[in-house]
């Protein structure tokens, strides 16, 4: 190695400048060089074992001071609020940087200033050995300036564009003992410095301005530009920077683009903690503590907390053997659900009981479930705010980037870049309010207590202006961009600091580019690549055909006698599948042939969804009627016996359903079951029966349909016998809500319960355009499985008060009508035409996220669909 080994020092500003100067010294083989920031310089002078107080220690002291409310006079009312710790920390840092002494001067008698001085003293008591607050460190350093020749040597200040007032007396004091020179940026305040200053010459670099759609588009364009510089060989990664005034606001965009492009980018200010696995562990634990137990939260926590060396690693097979739809909102429910699995319960139940206690157990649960960096992040979040605000604290946490800034593109704040300029820079966010920013009032120490000129000598607005001027003066090529919209979609204008350009290039996201960032970006911006990709070109052809009035292969025209359709129609059909076949063949094929399903994530809600409410009422009806049969018999049971049966059914449902499905919280769940029981009681008692010797069954399967739970000892028929639609080979299967059969099969009555809203004219409704096929298909099952029973009643009962009965008129005629409709629909389907239902309400369609669900599409294609389907089939559409 070469270089001078004489001790000398360099003073820099910011992490980027520190990393770049260290890398340059390593490349040059420099010996005897100390690279320091002002606080490290003071620590070096004050004593080799001293160091600036860490944020962790300061926050611990602030929390301890705020907890002693009796000692506070003016801050006591807000001492327990989330965010107070961070606000006090920011205020104290501003005071320290300004070199302001809280115990002297005309402002020391203010109650707020006294509180801050007391908090400062309390913080000193909680510092680790060797730690000192900045004012104390500065005082010790000034007392030891005579040792500067031996511990500092000649000092050169490089690139520092803002020296805090607290350090200025120390820097001037060093001049009496060592040589101090300042290589100052073009735009900075050097009037306070008593030594020699050399200003860096202004570079006449290339400057251009662009206008982007929004901050995400700005980040995308900046990344495209950086990739182009690297690919062309014009620049190395260490010569490129992307900067803005507040980079954390754009971190999500940058993280997504870095992940997709794999460009070497260093986040100087750190990556969001929640973007790491350790941060997600903390977030999962906080979610359970604040939101309560639910299966989704617990599963997420277990998956993230595994393999850390905790008690959870001992779970058998690292699995959770409980039904996936169960809500399990209390530790008691979990204990009951895990009872068949004693090994898992022994490990998991004590943990769940602790989690159920909420944020009060934040420390204990972290000690049990978190290790390493996850635990450190958790402790940092608890230091900055109360446990009740954990989610907000975690969102503000950052973790250091593993990339070396000296070997990567810098994504940083403008003040970092101004202190260590790079050849190529892209500045984003030059909008009104974005650059320069408005500092606003200090919430703890506003200007009416201490003038801002004293407590904040370098306002944020002045700093933003200075940083922009220095970047423009020291960069070989710089691009300045502004968004036309904010991240919230509001229209914004360019910043007043935007340099004058004869022409600002207006960029659009899908405009063809010479260089793109990712695969998706290439397909979006390069027309020739889109047409060459078979998937993208097919999607573009589908989009073109979507706007045509004629039918195309993208509208459901298939090969004649497609084997998938032939196989599908040989399988037994349910009332639901037949309804889809008649109303919306496209949805029928999606669901039953292709196996598509709506991705519905059932979060635990405060109200039971409508479909689950229907299942609940049916379950109560089934349990109540099964309890009454065969003795005393549902038909002859007194009202109090029905009420008793429903009470028993309700207790069973309240106990069992949380273990198998998602239900509201316990109090609301009990009330929901009570409402469903009232609806069920109304349906069971609204009519008086006079028929003697009548037997009732609920949930009666037919056509090979299986029923959950144990079947009754006797059924009115063999449930395995086939039921065939007349004139076809299509088999029907299903479950009848309730069947009443008179002795010796003299008459039969089938009932389908409805818990939804009653239509305006239920008596005029037969099959409701194919939506209500239950009565028809139940009648068909009775006709074929009970051939000797001629009197037949098939009815709908609407349970919402007032209870309404709607019998089916002419069941035999409707059976023939539906059978003929199914034959026509089947013939059209087998001919290769899979059409969307033009009479189906879009909001009620399965798969409605797809484009064919749009009303405009159905209106545009309706005439072509009717012509292709044929007049005979189209005549059935709109049947009441």
Q: How confident is the model at residue 22 (pLDDT cuts 50, 70, 90)?
A: very high
pLDDT exceeds 90 at position 688: no
Measured between alpha carbons, how far is 862 from 842 in angstroms, rounded to an integer? 14
Name the strand (E) or helix (H) holding 41.
helix 38-46
Task: Specify the pLDDT at position 839.
Answer: 65
What is the per-residue pLDDT across 541-567, written as a single tens digit (0 to 9) for each? 888 888 888 888 888 887 777 788 778
- From the number of C-beta atoms within 10 Å of its C-beta (0-12, 13-18, 19+), residue 870 rates as middle
Nearest to 349 by CA among 312, 389, 381: 312
Q: How confident is the model at residue 143 (pLDDT cuts 50, 70, 90)?
A: very high
Task: Specify the pLDDT at position 845.
Answer: 64
CB 517 within 8 A of CB 227: yes
The region, left, alpha or beta by phi > 0 then psi within -120 to 50, assigned to residue 832 is left
Mean pLDDT score, 756-775? 83
Report phi then psi at 734, rounded to 5.
Answer: 175, -165
pLDDT exceeds 90 at position 291: no
pLDDT exceeds 60 at position 1: no
Task: Specify the pLDDT at position 42.
Answer: 94
What domains appear along the chain, each with residue ranges and CATH number?
Answer: 8-199 (no CATH), 206-270+403-436+471-506 (3.40.50.300), 274-399 (no CATH), 553-598+819-874 (no CATH), 610-816 (3.90.320)
Report phi then psi at 391, rounded to 5.
Answer: -65, -40
**How large a percentage of the chain has pLDDT more than 70?**
95
Measured between alpha carbons, how far is 745 from 583 in angstroms, rounded to an integer? 35
Strands (DSSP E) along 703-766, which ranges? 723-724, 731-732, 734-742, 748-754
| Model confidence, pTM | 0.79
Mean pLDDT score, 517-533? 80
Task: Specify the pLDDT at position 164.
Answer: 93
What is the per-residue pLDDT across 667-683, written as a single tens digit (0 to 9) for each? 889 999 999 999 889 88
Q: Which residues contact 191 (CB under 8 A, 6 or more apart)?
A: none
Mean pLDDT score, 230-253? 94
Task: Specify the pLDDT at position 540.
Answer: 85
pLDDT exceeds 60 at position 713: no
Strands 424-427 and 240-244: parallel
pLDDT exceeds 80 at position 437: yes
Q: Which residues contact 608 (CB under 8 A, 6 or more apart)?
A: 616, 663, 664, 672
Task: Specify the pLDDT at position 601.
Answer: 55
What is the per-residue pLDDT across 294-305, written as a single tens digit (0 to 9) for each? 888 898 999 898
Measured between alpha carbons, how far is 552 from 550 in angstroms, rounded to an integer? 7
Task: Specify the pLDDT at position 237.
Answer: 94
Name the strand (E) or helix (H) holding 542.
helix 534-546
Task: Specify the pLDDT at position 847.
Answer: 64
pLDDT exceeds 80 at position 3: no
Residues, the chain, total?
A: 880
Mean pLDDT score, 822-830? 88
Strands 731-732 and 271-272: unpaired
DSSP-based three-state secondary structure for 753: strand
How far is residue 691 from each of residues 71, 274, 688, 715, 747, measured CA to CA in Å?
83, 68, 9, 20, 10
Show the tokens assigned to 9.
Answer: 């020092």
Maximum Cα interatomic distance, the chain, rounded to a whole number of Å = 119
Measured between alpha carbons, how far is 560 from 571 in angstroms, rounded to an integer? 19
pLDDT exceeds 50 at position 121: yes
Q: Of 242-246, 509-513, 856-860, 873-877, where does the model show the most confidence?
A: 242-246
Q: Is the dihedral of CA 662, 666, 668, 672 positive or negative?
A: positive
DSSP-based three-state secondary structure for 400: coil
Mean pLDDT score, 730-755? 87
Range from 110-119, 386-395, 521-530, 581-590 carrying the lowest mean pLDDT: 521-530
Mean pLDDT score, 838-849? 63
Tell me the average pLDDT of the chain: 87
Q: Which residues contact 755 (CB under 8 A, 6 or more apart)?
A: 610, 613, 614, 617, 679, 799, 800
The total of other beta-carbon atoms located within 10 Å of residue 496's CB is: 10
Task: Specify the pLDDT at position 523.
Answer: 80
pLDDT exceeds 90 at position 442: no
Task: Specify the pLDDT at position 124.
Answer: 94
Mean pLDDT score, 561-583? 85
What is the per-residue pLDDT across 445-497, written as a single tens digit (0 to 9) for each? 888 888 888 888 889 999 999 999 999 999 999 999 999 999 888 999 999 99
pLDDT exceeds 60 at position 12: yes
How far is residue 705 from each of residues 14, 350, 713, 785, measured CA to CA in Å?
72, 42, 17, 14
Show the tokens assigned to 108.
Answer: 């020391």
pLDDT exceeds 80 at position 208: yes
Mean pLDDT score, 696-725? 79
pLDDT exceeds 80 at position 509: no
Mean pLDDT score, 675-701? 83
Nearest to 216 by CA among 539, 540, 521: 521
pLDDT exceeds 60 at position 2: no
Q: Which residues contact 388 (CB under 8 A, 6 or more apart)?
A: 82, 290, 359
What is the per-residue pLDDT across 40-63, written as a single tens digit (0 to 9) for each? 999 999 987 899 999 999 999 999
Task: Specify the pLDDT at position 861.
Answer: 84
Task: Specify the pLDDT at position 842.
Answer: 56
Task: Specify the pLDDT at position 281.
Answer: 93
Strands (DSSP E) along 203-248, which ranges? 206-212, 240-244
For residue 375, the number of C-alpha atoms closer than 13 Å in the C-beta half-sphere is: 13
pLDDT exceeds 70 at position 851: no
- Angle, vertex CA 616, rays to CA 610 and CA 620, nearest 5: 150
DSSP-derived secondary structure for 137-156:
HHHHHHHTGGGHHHHT-SEE
């Amino acid at each position: 190695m070469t270089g001078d080994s004489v001790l000398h020092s360099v003073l820099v500003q910011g992490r980027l400048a520190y990393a770049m100067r260290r890398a340059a010294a390593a490349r040059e083989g420099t010996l005897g060089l100390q690279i320091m920031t002002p606080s490290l310089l003071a620590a070096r002078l004050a004593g080799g074992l001293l160091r600036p107080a860490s944020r962790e220690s300061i926050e611990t002291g602030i929390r301890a001071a705020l907890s002693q409310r009796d000692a506070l006079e003016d801050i006591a009312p807000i001492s327990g609020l989330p965010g107070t710790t961070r606000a006090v920390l920011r205020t104290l840092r501003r005071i320290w940087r300004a070199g302001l002494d809280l115990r002297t001067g005309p402002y020391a008698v203010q109650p707020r200033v006294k509180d801050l001085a007391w908090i400062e003293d309390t913080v000193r008591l909680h510092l680790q050995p060797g730690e000192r607050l900045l004012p104390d460190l500065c005082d010790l350093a000034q007392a030891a300036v005579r040792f500067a020749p031996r511990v500092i040597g000649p000092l050169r200040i490089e690139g520092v564009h803002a020296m805090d007032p607290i350090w200025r007396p120390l820097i001037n004091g060093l001049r009496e003992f060592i040589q101090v020179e300042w290589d100052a940026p073009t735009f900075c305040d050097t009037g306070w410095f008593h030594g020699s200053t050399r200003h860096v010459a202004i570079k006449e670099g290339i400057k251009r301005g662009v206008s982007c759609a929004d901050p995400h588009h700005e980040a995308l364009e900046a990344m495209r530009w950086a990739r182009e510089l690297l690919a062309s060989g014009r620049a190395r990664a260490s010569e490129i920077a992307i900067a803005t005034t507040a980079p954390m606001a754009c971190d999500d965009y940058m993280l997504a683009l870095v992940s997709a492009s794999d460009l070497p980018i260093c986040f100087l200010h750190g990556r969001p903690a929640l973007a790491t696995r350790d941060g997600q562990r903390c977030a999962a634990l906080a979610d359970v503590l604040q939101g309560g137990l639910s299966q989704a939260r617990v599963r997420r926590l277990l998956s993230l907390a595994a393999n850390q060396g905790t008690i959870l690693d001992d779970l058998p097979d690292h699995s959770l053997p409980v039904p996936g739809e169960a809500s399990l909102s209390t530790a008691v429910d979990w204990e009951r659900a895990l009872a068949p699995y004693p090994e898992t319960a022994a490990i998991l139940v004590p943990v769940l009981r602790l989690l159920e206690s909420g944020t009060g157990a934040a420390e204990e649960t972290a000690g049990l479930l978190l290790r390493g960096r996850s635990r450190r992040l958790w402790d940092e979040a608890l230091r900055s705010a109360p446990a009740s605000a954990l989610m907000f604290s975690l969102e503000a946490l950052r973790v250091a980037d593993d990339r070396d800034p000296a070997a990567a593109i810098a994504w940083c704040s403008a003040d970092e870049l101004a202190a260590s300029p790079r050849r190529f820079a892209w500045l984003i966010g030059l909008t009104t309010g974005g650059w320069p920013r408005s500092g606003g009032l200090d919430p703890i120490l506003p200007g009416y207590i201490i003038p801002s000129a004293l407590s904040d000598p370098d306002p944020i607005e002045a700093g933003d202006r200075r940083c922009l001027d220095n970047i423009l003066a020291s960069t070989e090529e710089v691009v300045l961009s502004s968004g036309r919209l904010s991240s919230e979609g509001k229209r914004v204008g360019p910043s007043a600091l935007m340099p004058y350009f004869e022409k600002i290039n207006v960029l659009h996201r899908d405009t063809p580019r010479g260089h793109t960032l990712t695969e998706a970006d290439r397909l979006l911006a390069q027309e020739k690549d889109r047409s060459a990709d078979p998937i993208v070109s097919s999607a573009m052809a589908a989009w073109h055909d979507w706007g045509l009035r004629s039918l195309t292969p993208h509208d459901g025209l298939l090969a004649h006698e497609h084997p998938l359709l032939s196989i599908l129609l040989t399988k037994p059909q349910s009332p639901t599948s037949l309804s889809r076949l008649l109303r919306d063949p496209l949805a029928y094929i999606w669901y039953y042939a292709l196996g598509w399903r709506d991705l519905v994530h059932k979060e635990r809600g405060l109200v039971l969804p409508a479909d689950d409410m229907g299942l609940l009422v049916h379950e109560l009806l089934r349990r109540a009627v099964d309890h009454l049969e065969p003795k005393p018999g549902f038909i002859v049971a007194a009202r109090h016996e029905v009420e008793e049966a429903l009470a028993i059914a309700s207790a069973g449902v309240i106990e069992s359903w949380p273990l198998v499905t998602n239900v509201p919280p316990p109090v609301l769940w009990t009330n929901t079951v009570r409402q469903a029981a009232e609806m069920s009681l109304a349906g069971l008692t609204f009519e008086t029966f006079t028929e003697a010797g009548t037997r009732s069954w609920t949930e009666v399967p037919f056509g090979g349909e299986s029923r959950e739970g144990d079947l009754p000892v006797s059924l009115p028929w063999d449930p395995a016998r086939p039921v065939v639609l007349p004139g076809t080979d299509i088999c029907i299967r299903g479950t009848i809500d309730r069947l009443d059969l008179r002795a010796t099969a003299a008459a039969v009555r089938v009932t389908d319960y409805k818990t939804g809203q009653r239509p305006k004219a239920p008596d005029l409704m037969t099959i409701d355009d194919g939506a209500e096929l239950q009565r028809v298909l139940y009648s068909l099952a009775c006709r074929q499985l009970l051939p000797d029973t001629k009197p037949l009643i098939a009815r709908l009962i609407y349970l919402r008060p007032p209870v309404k009965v709607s019998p089916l008129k002419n069941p035999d005629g409707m059976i023939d009508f539906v059978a003929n409709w199914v034959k026509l629909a089947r013939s059209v389907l087998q001919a290769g035409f899979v059409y969307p239902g033009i009479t189906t309400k879009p909001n009620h369609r399965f798969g409605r996220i797809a484009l064919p669900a749009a009303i405009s599409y159905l209106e545009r294609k309706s005439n072509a669909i009717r012509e292709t389907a044929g007049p005979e089939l189209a005549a059935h559409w709109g049947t009441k």
